[in-house]
Structure 1
């Protein structure tokens, strides 16, 4: 299992935050971790919430059962809860500051809060946290009827063979063992198109031989890094973000595990990366592993 001792659930009492709570509670319970609840008030003329912190156990129980039966393994009465409310000009800075102060291992957040727009994450608190948080972040979209937090059965891991994506794969392995889920390794084979000004004829589309070689490499990666039978490998031709999102939507993916950047990313930057586009639009929750941040792998904790 992943080494998770403290889980943070930041809430603005929005639908997105509410839908993230069962995921935070389930993971905290599975890992015998503390569950931290943080509400940040910003003096921006927004309407005050009618929910106070600390949030009552009955209210939290209602969030657990909002999508049906509550998770059978979560006992809120036994779960160590730490609740705090802070005032700050920037909610994202307050969340990241709290994460650093309390050595949080995982942030579980809704992608659309009071400042969010339909199918857009740009400018939201969630994206700002994704950019700068020192630990992995699990984002949950508020407008989708997601699979219950404790019933993840199909985990999708986009792989570009970079070190960052291999780190995400190792986290996905531990998550799959926790949920009892299957893992799908997906690689997007992108077409090469040159501008006409180059004077170069368009390259041929990647053929079956290329797809076969990539899937062989994915299979070897599955054997060496995962080593158990519940793995599917897939290589599709197309633009990476679109390929990932299309696969997630058509194959009943319950969770996407992705690195913040692969070959094209910049240190401590998410904007413009494949991960950003996936987080914005994925129909399932997205577990984002930070290449520059904390690892939750058991061997990393032991070392």
Structure 2
């Protein structure tokens, strides 16, 4: 299992935050981790002020949130969880969330996003996006929607692979999550066509042929054997634009969770999620577990040392 001791669930009382709570509670229960609940008060709208006055959240309120989607696959006693609740005033909720995570040595932030349609669907919410870009620990995003994503019935985990060190680390996290949920892992690589602007005076490069796909499939099979090493894994290779390939696969194959890495590192680069990861987080209809290329790894100590 992943090494998770502290989980942070920031809430602004939105639907996205509510849908994220069962995921935070389930992981806290399975890992015997502290569950930190944080509300950042920004502005004084009548609705937010009324709900903020209900803080800290009662056991009854949390119980209703826990059972708002699919019923838990096993009983979760909220009273037995180690809960810490805090409410702060801050002009920037994202900065307050990241500061809290750093100060309390949080291992995982579980946050809701603002699910919308059309052009607005591209926006996950400025707060969630800034947390994703700047938090030094992994982040699990859960999209708002009419049908909350199940926190218990995760059977198919998709791990996009680009053969970078970052994606290998994400695959290792996916393995541990699969052991937690009892899920299958699909390793997916998109072989992209090479396009040149017409100003280059060059023809479009040849579409990758069967020999390229075959080599990639062998590499994925080797990764599945070396990094996962158990039978519940599938390797898929497809030709196409990576974000589109990943999102199409998610929709067509009943994926329950995507595990993907960022490629930002430090300084200004730390603000970048990476173009593929950013598109997946913004448009995926299922929860996305983002492994950061900087900061914390949640891999068990023995696994981390063996793969160092």
Coarse TM-score class (shorter-chain normalised): over 0.9
Q: Which has the higher helix share?
A: 2
Find the partner of 1:269 among 250, 256, 271. 271
The alpha carbon displacement at 1:237 in A equals 0.8
SS for the counterpart of 2:105 is coil
Find the partner of 1:245 among 235, 244, 247. 247
The alpha carbon displacement at 1:122 in A equals 5.8
Matched, 1:25 2:22: no
Matched, 1:48 2:48: yes
In structure 2, the partner of 1:143 is 145
TM-score normalized by the length of structure 1: 0.93
CA distance 1:61–1:122, change in 2 (3 Å): closer
State how many pairs are aligned. 299
Partners in 1 of 2:172 and 2:200 — Cα distance? 41
Consecutive unaligned residues of structure 2, counting only runs of 5 or more, are: none
Once the two structures are superposed, residues 237-262 of structure 1 have per-residue CA deviations (whole angstroms, 9 ceiling, x without a partner) of 11111111111111000000000128
Higher alpha-carbon deviation: 51-60 or 6-15 = 51-60
Contact 1:146 1:254 in 2 (8 A): no
Matched, 1:281 2:283: yes
SS for the counterpart of 1:224 is helix
Partners in 1 of 2:296 and 2:48 — Cα distance? 34
TM-score normalized by the length of structure 2: 0.92
SS for the counterpart of 2:106 is coil
Once the two structures are superposed, residues 125-173 of structure 1 have per-residue CA deviations (whole angstroms, 9 ceiling, x without a partner) of 0000000001000000001524420110000000000011011111000
In structure 2, the partner of 1:232 is 234
CA distance 1:150–1:251, change in 2 (3 Å): same
Matched, 1:2 2:2: yes
Find the partner of 2:156 among 142, 154, 157. 154
Higher alpha-carbon deviation: 186-195 or 119-128 = 119-128
Partners in 2 of 1:222 and 1:197 — Cα distance? 41
Task: Output the aligned Cα RMSD.
Answer: 2.1
Higher alpha-carbon deviation: 100-109 or 270-279 = 270-279
In structure 1, the partner of 2:176 is 174
Partners in 2 of 1:86 and 1:185 — Cα distance? 41
SS for the counterpart of 2:157 is strand
CA distance 1:49–1:248, change in 2 (3 Å): farther
The alpha carbon displacement at 1:68 in A equals 3.4
Partners in 1 of 2:182 and 2:236 — Cα distance? 20
In structure 1, the partner of 2:259 is 257
CA distance 1:230–1:57, change in 2 (3 Å): same
CA distance 1:301–1:88, change in 2 (3 Å): farther
CA distance 1:174–1:144, change in 2 (3 Å): farther
CA distance 1:175–1:122, change in 2 (3 Å): closer
Find the partner of 2:294 among 286, 292, 295. 292
Matched, 1:102 2:78: no
In structure 1, the partner of 2:91 is 89
Within-5 A mapping of 1:58-137? 58-112=60-114, 118-121=120-123, 124-137=126-139
